[in-house]
Amino acid sequence: MAINNGEEQQNQLIGDADLAHKTLLQSDALYQYILDTSVFPREHPCLKELREMTEKHPRNHMAIPGDEGQLISMLVKLINAKNTLEIGVYTGYSLLSTALALPSDGKVLALDKSREYYELGLPMIEKAGVAHKIDFRQGLALPLLDELLQDENNKGTFDFVFVDADKNNYLNYHVRMIDLVKVGGLIGYDNTLWSGSVAAPPDAPMMDFIRNLRGYVIEFNKHLAQDSRIEICQLSIADGITLCRRIK
Ligand code: SAM
Ligand code: CA
């Protein structure tokens, strides 16, 4: 099952014409194998319903793929996260993956400028019985984060953060995340390989939205690489996720 989206078209423009999925893997068959053997058979029925609903939405390219949802779930459980934050919810695949992985008294503060997208997935979140873990706030993320930071009690309190919103603001988010996440906590930044364009020659053919934001992603990656307050790990799953563990 190939998922048709803008990122897929971008892959075709900048590199391997056979790439037709939400991954940087160089083989459709291998990606399908991962989905069929490891992801779909274990996917929570409400996540499946949310994914299938989202696939029919015109902006479906924005959702994280199932294998990335599985990774988020594993990370949340491995670090015993209880207090988490997400920036960029869309219909909620990453949000529901997080909420399902949290303990019953766990919390996820979810920020998105669109309530409309969130409400598309809300019935499945409610059906999964995890809506009580979610505090959704509508608005632009930067002012919402600044509001949080005005209260000293919020500093150093988040165990896990997932950032998947406007790439031109990732550096601005990072400045704030470092204060919000606890020492030893984890931040995941999504799309840090930006359809592979970060390593493509500047004159390579690429879609406009990829070209327009590519410089921001490259600068962001450079910044993380030299930030001594974090340990980093760049994963090439999905469109690239950079995991940052706050160490000071
Ligand atoms: N993580 C989501 C998932 O698993 O489906 C996908 C998130 S989608 C790539 C990006 C989301 O960020 C959109 O829902 C958009 O409304 C939101 N967004 C973009 N810029 C934003 C901003 N400045 N503040 C808050 N939300 C923003
Ligand atoms: Ca993403």
Return the ligand number nearest the Cα of 65: 1
Nearest alpha carbon, ligand 1 atom 11: 88
User: How many CB atoms are closer than 10 A to CB 211?
Assistant: 18
Task: Kindly report the pTM of this predicted structure.
Answer: 0.93
Strand partners, 241: 190, 235
Query: How many angstroms is it from 28 CA to the middle of ligand 1?
Result: 27
86 CA to centre of ligand 1 in angstroms: 9
> Which ligand neighbours the alpha carbon of 72 most closely?
1
Q: What's the longest Cα–Cα distance across the chain?
A: 50
What pLDDT score was predicted for residue 23?
A: 79
- Which pLDDT band, with edges at 50, 70 and 90, does 207 fall under? very high
Residue-wise pLDDT tens digits, 24-53: 888 899 999 999 999 999 999 999 999 999
Query: Which range, of 8-17, 50-59, 173-182, averages the lowest pLDDT?
Result: 8-17
For the Cβ of 145 lying below 6 angstroms from any atom of ligand 1, the answer is no
In the predicted structure, residue 235 carries a pLDDT above the cut 50: yes
| CA distances (Å), origin 12, targets 4, 30, 72, 98, 208 | 12, 17, 27, 31, 14
Q: Is the CB of 166 under 6 A from ligand 1?
A: yes
- Residue 26's pLDDT is 83
Distance 101 CA to ligand 1 centre (A): 21
How much is the pLDDT for 25?
Answer: 86
Question: 156 — phi, psi (to 5°)?
Answer: 65, 30
pLDDT, tens only, 144-203 = 999 999 999 999 999 999 999 999 999 999 999 999 999 999 999 999 999 999 999 988
C-alpha gyration radius of the chain: 17
CA of 154 to the centre of ligand 1 (A): 22
What are the sequence ranges of the domains in the chain? 6-246
Q: Which residue stretches of the chain are H helix?
A: 6-14, 28-34, 45-55, 66-78, 93-101, 115-127, 141-150, 170-180, 208-225
Q: Which residues fall within 8 angstroms of residue 235, CB to CB, at 6 or more apart?
A: 71, 241, 242, 243
The answer to whether residue 13 scores a pLDDT higher than 50 is no
Query: Edge-to-edge strands of the sheet including 134-138?
Result: 134-138, 107-112, 83-87, 158-163, 181-190, 241-246, 230-235
Helices vs. strands in the chain: H and E counts, helices first:
9, 7
CA of 114 to the centre of ligand 1 (A): 8
Is residue 39 within 6 Å of ligand 1 at its C-beta?
A: no
221-231 confidence digits (pLDDT tens)? 999 999 999 99
Q: Which tokens belong to 206?
A: 């690429």
Q: Around Cβ 41, how many Cβ atoms within 10 Å?
A: 8
Judge if the beta carbon of residue 62 lies within 6 A of ligand 1. Answer: yes
| Residue 19 pLDDT greater than 80, yes or no | no
pLDDT of residue 7: 38
Choosing from 68, 71, 113 the residue with most ligand 1 atoms within 8 A of its CB, the one to mutate for a pocket test is 113
- The finding on whether 110 has its CB within 6 A of some atom of ligand 1 is no
Q: Say yes or no: CB of residue 64 within 6 Å of ligand 1.
A: yes
CATH superfamily, with its number, for domain 6-246: Vaccinia Virus protein VP39 (3.40.50.150)
**Cβ of 213 below 6 Å from ligand 1:** no
How many degrees, rounded to 5, is the angle at CA 77 between CA 176 and CA 134? Answer: 60
Share of the chain above pLDDT 70, in %: 91
